Amino acid sequence: MLLPAQAATSTRADRAVVTRGLTKRLGRITAVNDVALEVPRRCIYGFLGLNGAGKTTTIRMLLGLVRPTAGEVHVLGFPMPEKRRDVLLSVGAVVEQPTVYPHLTGFENLELTRRLIGAAPASIPRALEIVDMATPARRLVREYSTGMRQRLGIAIALLGSPELLILDEPTNGLDPVGIEAIRELIRGLPVRMNATVLVSSHILSEIEQIADHVGILHEGRLALQGPLAPLRAGGKSLEQIFFEVTRVRGGSPQ
Amino acid sequence: MKPAGFVGCLIVEALKLRRTMALALAILLPAAPVAFFVILILSQGGAEFSQSAHPSAMIVLGLVGLWAVFPLPIFAAVESSLLASVEHQNRGWKHIFALPPARGSLIAAKFAAAALLVTIAHACLFVYALVLFRVLPMLEPAQGFDGPIPVVATLAVIAACAASSLFVVGLHTFIAMRWASFALNVGISLGGILYALGVLDTRQAKFIPWALPALVHKVAVPWIFDLPGAHSEIRTLTTAIAISVGGFILTAVAGGWLLSRRDVF
């Protein structure tokens, strides 16, 4: 489903992410099917879906890691993958578990990415301060807990002062204290970094507490998308909304 | 792929090598043939070397031979697997490919890092060889190992050996980046070495990547040390090195092209 060119252009200006007809087929399986995401700028967009719904594949297409079978992707106004470099200079991402090298210190991990994105050396202490990791950054990552690795992964993603931060399942494997810490961190990012945050999760309560927009992906299709407040106007929880949507789309209760 | 982007990626690859098994192996493994050579001299007296017409050439021939035939091709497979495993084990491909540098630069930097590790290994082998030349007169004073140390000739032989290993390094680096299996890469290496041993004395040896280091070492020592009848082999030497360097470039370009077009899951 493609919007008329003029309408699509005007939409892209105030949207951090716009996709049209985004589809990815993997053999006979359609992992992502005709998805039209619209992520407003400077919001926290909760990208929801069950395991295997296609969230990670969609995120990988936004980052140019996976080529779409069909459709188009615009990130921060640039088409992907045509303007890959322009996009990736302004995007920070943690896809699934954070990529950190255990044989290096936290600081050395940050230094590698800083060099690859061409950020200033001062960006490292700034990112460490945001995630509250200044002291442990001198230790080898193999000594870190899961929560510390997650925070280091987010610090790496913040190095280039991104306009768009993509976090895929950022609380996976964390204990309640770690979840709370990451939640507070994400909540503060739009104001602190003037950034848009797209956070994917299958944990509805997490998204409900931090997101102001949501998109629900079900069996590869975008089942619902919009601001969270109007959706909850009738007193429904996000969980109720999610199950209503996925029942209708999926044909059976989850 | 811009040169500045490639250099930046190569610096990052070099920094990633800190505290890795790949770097430790590059430094330590070349000591193995030297240690083996010392044991050989101590156990047999070294008369077959010292009493030959060209003792220095015989020592370099023996030492580099011990390295080039088996440890070097295996080292190429193991170190390329260790280098790629830094990304495979930590799911690093999705991270580095989601950063602004071109995928081509990132992949080319991996190939260059593999070549850098082989260069480090040969630099270490050269240093260890010089130490061996210093130590031999002390180990077996009666054998007369106290002549001048052939620094330049030894360096030339080891440099030729390093150049001749590039093709096999390129092949194994591609395999290691494409498939995470350590066993696959080492298995291919073992198969290649066995086949190379079978064809080493035939005309096709110079076209078999795993045979090139042994072939080059065999013909480089007589030529570099100016032994009788050596000049007839210079053509084999230059052809083998050209095939190795050309094979590395071809593997890096073709492998990089294939790898940069793959979806990263």
| Nearest residue to A60 (alpha-carbon basis) of B92, B94, B87 | B94
Residue in this structure with the two tokens 């370099």, named with its chain if needed: B60
Q: So what's the pLDDT on residue A9? A: 45
Put simply, the answer to whether B8 touches A115 (Cβ < 8 Å) is: yes
Looking at CA atoms only, how far is residue B11 from chain A in angstroms?
Answer: 9
CA distance B187 to chain A (A): 27
- What is the per-residue pLDDT for A179? 87
pLDDT-derived band at B63 (thresholds 50, 70, 90) equals very high
**Which helix (H) or strand (E) segment is A163 a member of?**
none
Residues in chain B: 265
Q: Tell me the average pLDDT across B24-45.
A: 92
Averaged pLDDT score across all residues of chain B: 92
Phi-psi region of A196 (alpha: psi -120 to 50; beta: other; left: phi over 0): beta
Q: How confident is the model at residue B40 (pLDDT cuts 50, 70, 90)?
A: confident
Torsion of CA A72, B103, B257, B9, to 10 degrees: 170
The strand pairing partners of A217, in sequence order, are A222
What does each C-alpha distance from A155 to A97, A122, A151, B3 come to in angstroms? 13, 13, 6, 28
Sheet with A91-94: strands ordered across: A91-94, A164-168, A196-201, A44-48, A213-218, A221-227
Q: Could you tell me if A125 and A134 are in contact, meaning their C-beta atoms sit under 8 angstroms apart?
A: yes
Please report the pLDDT score of residue A247 as a whole number: 77
Interval A88-122: pLDDT, tens = 999 999 998 899 999 999 999 999 999 999 999 99
Among A60, A66, A101, A110, the residue to mutate for chain B (most B Cβ within 10 A) = A101
Sequence letter at residue A48 = L
Report residue B112's pLDDT band, with 50, 70 and 90 as the boundaries. Answer: very high
Is residue A186 left, alpha or beta, with left meaning phi > 0 and alpha meaning psi from -120 to 50? alpha
For residue B8, the chain A residues in CB contact (below 8 A) are: 115-116, 118
| Residue recorded with tokens 């909850």 | A232
Q: pLDDT exceeding 70 applies to what percent of chain B?
A: 98
What residue type is A39 in one-letter code?
A: V
What is the DSSP pairing of strand A213-218 with strand A44-48? parallel
B51 or A131, which is more confident: A131
CB spacing of A104 vs B91 below 8 angstroms: no
The C-alpha torsion from A60 through A98 and B262 to B117, rounded to 10°, is 160
pLDDT of residue B45: 79
Backbone angles phi, psi at B126, to 5 degrees: -60, -45
Residue B230 has pLDDT above 90, yes or no: no
Cβ neighbours of B8 (radius 10 Å): 19
Q: Which residue of A has its CA nearest to B109?
A: A116
Q: Name beta bridge partners: A46.
A: A199, A214
Q: pLDDT under 70 in chain A at which residues?
A: 1-13, 248-254
Determine the Cα–Cα distance for residues A95 and A201; give it in Å rounded to an integer: 11
pLDDT at B145: 79
User: Can you give the pLDDT at residue A249?
Assistant: 53
Q: Which of B16, B23, B82, B99 to mutate to test the interface with A (most CBs of A within 10 A)?
A: B99
CB < 8 Å to A99, chain B = 90-92, 94-96
Q: Residues B140-198: pLDDT tens digits?
A: 887 777 888 899 999 999 999 999 999 999 999 999 999 999 999 999 999 999 999 99
pLDDT of residue B157: 93
Q: How far is residue B7's CA from residue A245's CA, in Å, rounded to a whole number?
A: 50
Contact B265 A60 (CB under 8 A): yes
Q: Is B231 exposed, middle or buried (0-12, 13-18, 19+ CB in 10 A)?
A: exposed
Interaxial angle between packed helices B212-224 and B166-178, expressed in degrees from 0 to 180 and rounded to the nearest 10: 160
Strand ranges in B79-236 using DSSP code E only, listed in sequence order: none
- Is there a contact between A97 and B91 if contact means CB atoms under 8 Å apart? yes
Per-residue pLDDT, A176: 87
Residue A13 phi/psi, 5-degree rounding, is -60, -40
Question: Would the CB atoms of A99 and B91 count as touching at under 8 Å?
Answer: yes
Q: Do B95 and A104 touch (CB under 8 A)?
A: no
Are the CB atoms for A140 and A177 separated by under 8 Å?
A: no
Average pLDDT estimate for B199-203: 90
pLDDT computed for residue B48 by the predictor: 77
